[in-house]
A and B are shown apart, each in its own frame.
Chain A
Amino acid sequence: MSETTATAPARREKLPKRKRGRPDSIRLLLNNALATAGLVVFVLIVLVAVAAPLLPLPDPDATAPANRLLRPLAEGHLLGTDALGRDILSRLIWGTQVSLAVGVSATLIAAFFGSLIGLVAGYAGGRIDTLLMRGIDMVMAFPYILLALAIVAVLGPGLLNALYAIAVVNIPFFARNIRGIALGLSRREFVDAARLSGKSNAQILFIEVLPNVLPVIIITMSTTIGWMILETAGLSFLGLGAQPPQADLGSMLGEGRKILFTAPHVSVIPGVMIFALVMSINLLGDGVRDVLDPRLKSGALTRPVARTAVMRDQVPGGIEPDAEAVLDVRDLKTEFRFGGDVFKAVGGVDMKVGQGECLGIVGESGSGKSVSAMSIMGLVPTPPGRITGGVALLEGEDLFAASDERIRQLRGSAVSHVFQDPLSTLHPLFTVGDQLVEAIQAHAPLSGSAARKKAADLLKTVRIPNPAERLKSYPHELSGGMRQRVCMAMALAHDARVIIADEPTTALDVTVQAQVLSLLDTLREERNAGILFITHDFGVVSAICDRVAVMYAGQFVETGTTEEILTSPAHPYTAKLIDCVPVLGEPERRLDAIGGRPPVVNDLPVGCAFADRCPRAGDDCRAAPIPLTEFGEGRTVRCIHPLNAEAEHG
């Protein structure tokens, strides 16, 4: 999906090729076997019910006392007759029609009024919201069916009244659901944008917000319609819905109940019908929900297993571990699979972290820097991630070959982690103390009180004032900086050889970031632990890293000491990346933007991944993969036309 070609610097960004046309919703739905089965059964039932007047059926209400309670398969009565000799098949089909009509109308009524209330309440907020929602709460204070009964009691028994009752008791359900969504949407920036574009409230509500709520309304309808059919049948069953001689499925069942022991088929048959109808609707509804719910579509609801799957084609043998490195990763490859697409997030990366050394990995979003770091201890979610190649040697031991239990023992002890957003990385329901104690006891057989004491000591180590008190705090009671200190304390619970820090200061304010960085720097010196530091910010790199690796499209394009790389970058990407960031104290500097976009890692070019954006690229760059080559002492670069080549020594 390259857009800007290097040869003709396009003034305007061109259009990316449209991805294979999005599979349309219907096809997605049909991919789901159960939903398809539901659809088929449902359509069949609807067709038969709608066609009732055309079918050669006897009058459903014609009584024939002589033929009463005929068993199914009796002559002329396929499903037998009921207590008054009426043909059950005919009554069943007509009754299905009634039940369907009532269920669908009740759903539409409830959806319309409920969604309207929800939309208005969610969008308006404030008093209107409070008023509407208190009303809804009041209705919801009654057990569902009880309220329907009370309404029928007021209106009197009858099918139409049952319909109203069921619709009314379902309004709160829609109103609440829709209100939640509308409330969230109304706080979104595009609503403000629409307001500033001159749209009125009504226009925003119905033109901007409603289209986004519609899928939720449809999901809610598809999941409640079966329920509503059941409930109307229930009221009829109790004799409060359809009145004789009219029959819906519920009243047929109710009539059959009285003769359950003598003629079970009279009640069993309509029950089967209700069940088949509701089941098909629910199957279909689940399918619709799966198609429309973006979370489900993106596979967000698959559960990641405890450790990233390792599926190496071949296990590299005979690797001499570097004696100086605590962590020595060679040729790491990690992929993500979505359907048929393979995203090569990490395509062969070597990392070495020595004792007390800090290696920074710098890259933009999507470059694979986090995935590289998370692969080491198997913290990349599987599915969809998998490690497909390379070794990760921790003091000589191949982590990718270790057992799950061995990895568990190493996590948090020899290798610990600090993550980006300290609010979401701490468990909201446990106190800071509980979480620290747990980390301590995971690898050390300490008693509760001893572990608590150690936890307090750890908080002191990360300069948290009043540690004993703070142990009792929940994460949400602490500030962002404090939370990140707690995460660091957890990483220090055992004698970690390597700390993997994934953008640990990105979510923090600058002054807090400075505090956390200097603390991290002090701690690694005190503890002599290696740090693998992931960031997108060269400024942060300068503050803490000894060596840097610059990552682009799943590979390192340049490695070396921080100073060398910052002062004389060799890879054009590194140079451009440094040049496009404004530097404090140099406001006059013209920012040099990088045109175009990085390639997508499921469709990487054969040659250099940066070639399309590179001013120095030639045909040779695109011809074949570019190897990472030595570029002076302790430096490597993946480029055949590097900058500052005069600095090269060998």
Chain B
Amino acid sequence: MDDGVLLSIDGAERVFGGGRTIFGGKKPAVHAVQDVTIDVRKGETLGIVGESGCGKSTLARMIVGLDVPTGGRITFDGRDLAAEAGKDLRRLSRDVQYVFQDPVASLNPRKTIRTILEAPLIHLLRLGKPEREKRLSELMDAVNLAPEFLDRYPHEFSGGQAQRIGIARALAADPKLIVLDEPVSALDVSVQAQVLNILDGLKERFGLTYVFISHDLSVVESVSDRVAVMYFGRIVEIGAGRSIFRTPRHPYTHLLLESAPAPGRKSLLSEDADTELPDPYNPPPGCAFYARCPRRTDICNRQEPPLEAAPHQEEQLAACFNPREGA
């Protein structure tokens, strides 16, 4: 792979449950993330889209070391991330940070903003008091909040303000990569734009790399350089945002795009009623999208389709035996 790669995920897998009961019976297992391979290049924004239960949040948690993959490798800057997270999460956290979905829940209600923001400065950077003060005012400035806010408690903030504090917290340790897990989906639309614009500015100012996770296609489209679409724990399509959204190759990506409501769009494509996610405890043998797919053939139900590039487009990969051709 090219040298610009900052984060490399290679065949990552996360299984929940499983193992055996004391009587030797098998416990049910769920593959939350299966065989995910992605490279994130320095300075880019990688968007990950998918609906609830597709494994995108599990993937995000593994990247920051809050969860450990049960298979595969995740390397950051050449370091084995999973091993490092187990031994010394602090070292990893200096480089990789996380912004949470629920801005209010991610702030301890009994701590002032100062205490919350100082924690990474103390524990990760080991800064002294005067340096901390300086850094705190830099951070508040970066997310456009007045320094008076520092001595307030989280409940005194609106959702948008709280999310900016969440961003400041992630920014505190001066990381290289920030994973944003649905950072705006709990916010009202007018506030959503404020936060997206701030994120955009910070990326340029601090030379950050983002992994941006969302269920909202239009948000992902507006922020991402490259996009990965996840379905049922796997990546079904990945490529440049522009090409994926204009010419989706995987039928699921197409369905997603057609289902998304947009101002001025009258009719939404709709499938039949009994098309639901497969049972995670009893996954189908072949493609997980088989039951819902308008392009399915026999092979789809027998074999897992590999993630392959389109003939003339090295950059856009889709896991489908019968991909849509340049629509």
Q: Hey, which bits of chain A sit against chain B, CB under 8 A? A: 11-16, 18, 188-190, 192-199, 203, 208, 211-212, 364-365, 462-465, 479, 481-482, 485, 509-515, 517-519, 536-543, 563, 566-567, 576-578, 580-585, 587, 589, 591-595, 597
Contact with A along B225-268 (1 / 0, CB 8 A): 00000000000000001100110000000011111111111111
- Determine whether the beta carbon of B263 is less than 8 Å from that of A518: no
Task: For the complex, give the distance between the alpha carbons of A28 and B285 in Å.
Answer: 62
Interface-forming stretch among B1-9, B11-19, B187-195, B312-320?
Answer: B187-195
- Determine whether the beta carbon of B144 is less than 8 Å from that of A514: no
With contacts A212-B109, A465-B274, A577-B189 known, is A199 near B264, CB below 8 A?
Answer: no
Chain A contacts of B258 at CB under 8 A? Answer: 514
- Determine whether the beta carbon of B271 is less than 8 Å from that of A11: no
- Nearest 3 A/B pairs, CB to CB: A198-B123, A539-B261, A514-B259
- Determine whether the beta carbon of B156 is less than 8 Å from that of A16: yes
- Determine whether the beta carbon of A190 is less than 8 Å from that of B105: yes
Chain B contacts of A194 at CB under 8 A? Answer: 108, 119
Count of A-B contacts judged by CB separation below 8 Å: 216
With contacts A198-B119, A584-B221, A589-B222 known, is A594 near B260, CB below 8 A?
Answer: no
Chain A contacts of B264 at CB under 8 A? Answer: 542, 563, 566-567
Q: Hey, which bits of chain B sit against chain A, CB under 8 A? A: 51-52, 64-66, 89-90, 93, 97-98, 100-102, 105-111, 116, 119-120, 122-124, 141, 144-146, 148-149, 156, 158, 161, 166, 169-170, 172-173, 188-194, 196-197, 215, 217-219, 221-222, 241-242, 245-246, 255-274, 276-277
- Chain A nearest CB, measured from B131 CB (Å): 16
With contacts A196-B97, A582-B219 known, is A511 near B271, CB below 8 A?
Answer: yes
With contacts A189-B106, A195-B89, A510-B217 known, is A365 near B188, CB below 8 A?
Answer: yes
Chain A contacts of B149 at CB under 8 A? Answer: 15
- Determine whether the beta carbon of A537 is less than 8 Å from that of B261: yes
- Determine whether the beta carbon of B222 is less than 8 Å from that of A541: no
Task: For the complex, give the distance between the alpha carbons of A35 and B222 in Å.
Answer: 57
Q: Which of B100, B158, B256, B276 contacts A510 (CB 8 A)?
A: B256
- Determine whether the beta carbon of A509 is less than 8 Å from that of B215: yes
Interface centre among B173, B218, B261, B273 (most CB of A within 10 A): B261
- Determine whether the beta carbon of A583 is less than 8 Å from that of B262: yes
- Determine whether the beta carbon of B190 is less than 8 Å from that of A193: no
- Determine whether the beta carbon of B222 is less than 8 Å from that of A591: yes
Closest to A10 in B: B146
- Determine whether the beta carbon of B245 is less than 8 Å from that of A591: no
- Determine whether the beta carbon of B271 is less than 8 Å from that of A515: yes
- Determine whether the beta carbon of A465 is less than 8 Å from that of B273: yes
Interface centre among B52, B119, B255 (most CB of A within 10 A): B119
- Determine whether the beta carbon of A198 is less than 8 Å from that of B107: no
- Chain A nearest CB, measured from B121 CB (Å): 9
- Determine whether the beta carbon of A514 is less than 8 Å from that of B197: no
With contacts A580-B189, A587-B245 known, is A518 near B123, CB below 8 A?
Answer: no
Chain A contacts of B166 at CB under 8 A? Answer: 193
Interface centre among B191, B246, B268, B271 (most CB of A within 10 A): B268
17 A-B pairs whose Cβ atoms sit less than 8 Å apart in the complex: A18-B156, A193-B98, A195-B93, A196-B66, A196-B89, A198-B120, A462-B273, A509-B215, A511-B255, A515-B270, A517-B261, A541-B263, A582-B222, A587-B245, A591-B222, A593-B197, A594-B194
- Chain B nearest CB, measured from A310 CB (Å): 30
Q: Which of A198, A513, A581 contacts B193 (CB 8 A)?
A: A581
- Determine whether the beta carbon of A192 is less than 8 Å from that of B66: yes
Closest to A595 in B: B194
With contacts A479-B277, A515-B270 known, is A581 near B108, CB below 8 A?
Answer: no
Chain B contacts of A541 at CB under 8 A? Answer: 263
- Determine whether the beta carbon of A594 is less than 8 Å from that of B190: yes
- Chain B nearest CB, measured from A522 CB (Å): 10
Chain A contacts of B218 at CB under 8 A? Answer: 581-584
Chain B contacts of A584 at CB under 8 A? Answer: 217-218, 221, 245, 257, 260, 262
Task: For the complex, give the distance between the alpha carbons of A577 and B265 in Å.
Answer: 17
Interface centre among B100, B120, B273 (most CB of A within 10 A): B273
With contacts A190-B107, A198-B124 known, is A364 near B189, CB below 8 A?
Answer: yes
- Determine whether the beta carbon of B105 is less than 8 Å from that of A189: yes
- Determine whether the beta carbon of B144 is less than 8 Å from that of A591: no
Task: For the complex, give the distance between the alpha carbons of A358 and B196 in Å.
Answer: 32
Closest to B49 in A: A510
Task: For the complex, give the distance between the alpha carbons of A80 and B114 in Å.
Answer: 63
Q: Which of B122, B191, B242, B268 contacts A518 (CB 8 A)?
A: B268
Chain B contacts of A16 at CB under 8 A? Answer: 156
Task: For the complex, give the distance between the alpha carbons of A324 and B66 in Å.
Answer: 59
Given known contacts A13-B146, A580-B193, what 17 new A-B pairs fall within 8 Å (CB)? A12-B144, A190-B105, A190-B108, A193-B116, A196-B93, A198-B90, A203-B123, A208-B111, A481-B276, A509-B52, A539-B260, A539-B263, A563-B264, A582-B222, A585-B246, A587-B221, A591-B193
- Determine whether the beta carbon of B51 is less than 8 Å from that of A11: no
- Determine whether the beta carbon of A543 is less than 8 Å from that of B261: yes
Task: For the complex, give the distance between the alpha carbons of A199 and B173 in Å.
Answer: 13
Q: Which of B66, B116, B156, B268 contacts A195 (CB 8 A)?
A: B66
Task: For the complex, give the distance between the alpha carbons of A12 and B122 in Å.
Answer: 26
- Determine whether the beta carbon of B169 is less than 8 Å from that of A193: yes
- Determine whether the beta carbon of A580 is less than 8 Å from that of B277: no
Chain A contacts of B242 at CB under 8 A? Answer: 587
Task: For the complex, give the distance between the alpha carbons of A514 and B292 in Å.
Answer: 14
Closest to A214 in B: B110
Chain B contacts of A517 at CB under 8 A? Answer: 261, 268, 270
Q: Which of A13, A197, A208, A539 contacts B262 (CB 8 A)?
A: A539
Chain A contacts of B172 at CB under 8 A? Answer: 197
Task: For the complex, give the distance between the alpha carbons of A195 and B96 in Å.
Answer: 12
- Determine whether the beta carbon of A189 is less than 8 Å from that of B100: yes
- Determine whether the beta carbon of B277 is less than 8 Å from that of A515: no
- Determine whether the beta carbon of B268 is less than 8 Å from that of A591: no
- Chain A nearest CB, measured from B159 CB (Å): 9
- Determine whether the beta carbon of B123 is less than 8 Å from that of A197: yes
With contacts A587-B221, A587-B242 known, is A199 near B193, CB below 8 A?
Answer: no
Chain A contacts of B97 at CB under 8 A? Answer: 196
- Determine whether the beta carbon of A580 is less than 8 Å from that of B192: yes
Closest to A200 in B: B123
Task: For the complex, give the distance between the alpha carbons of A627 and B41 in Å.
Answer: 54
- Determine whether the beta carbon of A510 is less than 8 Å from that of B266: no
Q: Which of A189, A510, A538, A539 contacts B215 (CB 8 A)?
A: A510
Closest to B140 in A: A12
- Determine whether the beta carbon of B188 is less than 8 Å from that of A536: yes
- Chain A nearest CB, measured from B124 CB (Å): 4
- Determine whether the beta carbon of B123 is less than 8 Å from that of A199: yes
Task: For the complex, give the distance between the alpha carbons of A510 and B257 in Å.
Answer: 9
- Chain A nearest CB, measured from B307 CB (Å): 21
- Chain B nearest CB, measured from A583 CB (Å): 6
- Chain A nearest CB, measured from B145 CB (Å): 6
Chain A contacts of B158 at CB under 8 A? Answer: 597
Task: For the complex, give the distance between the alpha carbons of A592 and B196 in Å.
Answer: 10
Task: For the complex, give the distance between the alpha carbons of A465 and B275 in Å.
Answer: 10
With contacts A192-B66, A485-B273, A518-B268 known, is A15 near B124, CB below 8 A?
Answer: no
With contacts A212-B110, A465-B274, A591-B222 known, is A542 near B196, CB below 8 A?
Answer: no
- Determine whether the beta carbon of A13 is less than 8 Å from that of B145: yes
- Chain B nearest CB, measured from A545 CB (Å): 10
- Determine whether the beta carbon of A189 is less than 8 Å from that of B102: yes
- Chain B nearest CB, measured from A534 CB (Å): 14
With contacts A543-B261, A581-B189 known, is A198 near B93, CB below 8 A?
Answer: yes
Chain B contacts of A11 at CB under 8 A? Answer: 144
- Determine whether the beta carbon of A193 is less than 8 Å from that of B100: yes
Closest to A518 in B: B270
- Determine whether the beta carbon of A13 is less than 8 Å from that of B277: no
Q: Which of B90, B189, B194, B276 contacts A536 (CB 8 A)?
A: B189
With contacts A465-B274, A542-B265 known, is A594 near B144, CB below 8 A?
Answer: no
Task: For the complex, give the distance between the alpha carbons of A512 and B241 in Å.
Answer: 23
Chain A contacts of B246 at CB under 8 A? Answer: 585
Q: Which of A189, A510, A536 contacts B51 (CB 8 A)?
A: A510
